[in-house]
Amino acid sequence: MFLDNSGRHPLTQEQVVRSNIANACVPRLMPPEYDGGLSEPVSSITNIRPSPREINRQVLSTAKQVVHQEYNALLMQFGQFMSHDMAKTTLVPSAKCNVCQNIPSRCMAIFLAPADPNSNFRADGCLRVSRSSPICGSGRTKPRQQLSENTGYIDGSPIYGSSVGDLHKFREGSTGFLKLNNFNGYGMRLLPFDSSKCRNSGDW
């Protein structure tokens, strides 16, 4: 089975980039842009752009409640599910971003304006962001490229997985059906949980 979309034949590096297979480079529509040209997020060194937090506060946020005659929040959730079906970047495994400073290739700190209304954010001093994992060989002599754990197709990757390991984790061996757990004693059946914060399968 080729759940990662790799097919039966070996692929060249260029074909891997273009094939949308799982655990390979995320295809880009535009070339990457970094401070220094290789790895560090734009404006993390040069400060040539506004803080992402300020853009969110000033441009994307509103206190007004918007009621639409045709669409509700489910439209947004469906769009999010579609985007997570086609790409799932993984975080740098060893990144422990617990201080308000940029750690090259691992962590980025988004500093807050004194007037930021969120007291919890202000108490922390910044928003600490873990970087996504790069593919091997990128970010040093050529621009950093992101790794995607899912295929680049709408194929139910968040539900069924993109590897043989996921297949065995999510499906019953005898029937091939999805594994399900009873939930809350009300007869509701959900995808499997494990000991981590997130479900084994599904979107979060």
Tens-place pLDDT, residues 156-182: 888 888 888 887 888 887 888 888 777
- Candidate list 9, 68, 84, 168, residue with the active-site label: 84
State the chain's mean pLDDT as an integer.
80
**Residue 14 confidence (pLDDT) above 80:** no
Amino acid at 147: L
CA 94 – CA 133 distance, rounded (Å): 10
Q: Is 68 a catalytic residue?
A: no
Determine the Cα–Cα distance for residues 154 and 82; give it in Å rounded to an integer.
7
Pairing of strands 40-41, 34-35: antiparallel
What SS3 class is residue 71? Answer: coil
Q: Which residues contact 111 (CB under 8 A, 6 or more apart)?
A: 51, 100, 125, 126
Q: What is residue 41's three-state secondary structure?
A: strand
Annotated domain spans of the chain: 91-131
Q: What is the pLDDT of residues 56-98, one digit of tens each?
A: 888 887 788 888 899 988 998 999 999 888 888 888 876 678 8
Looking only at Cα atoms, what is the longest distance across the chain?
59
Locus of tokens 């970010």: 139
Name the pTM for this structure. Answer: 0.70
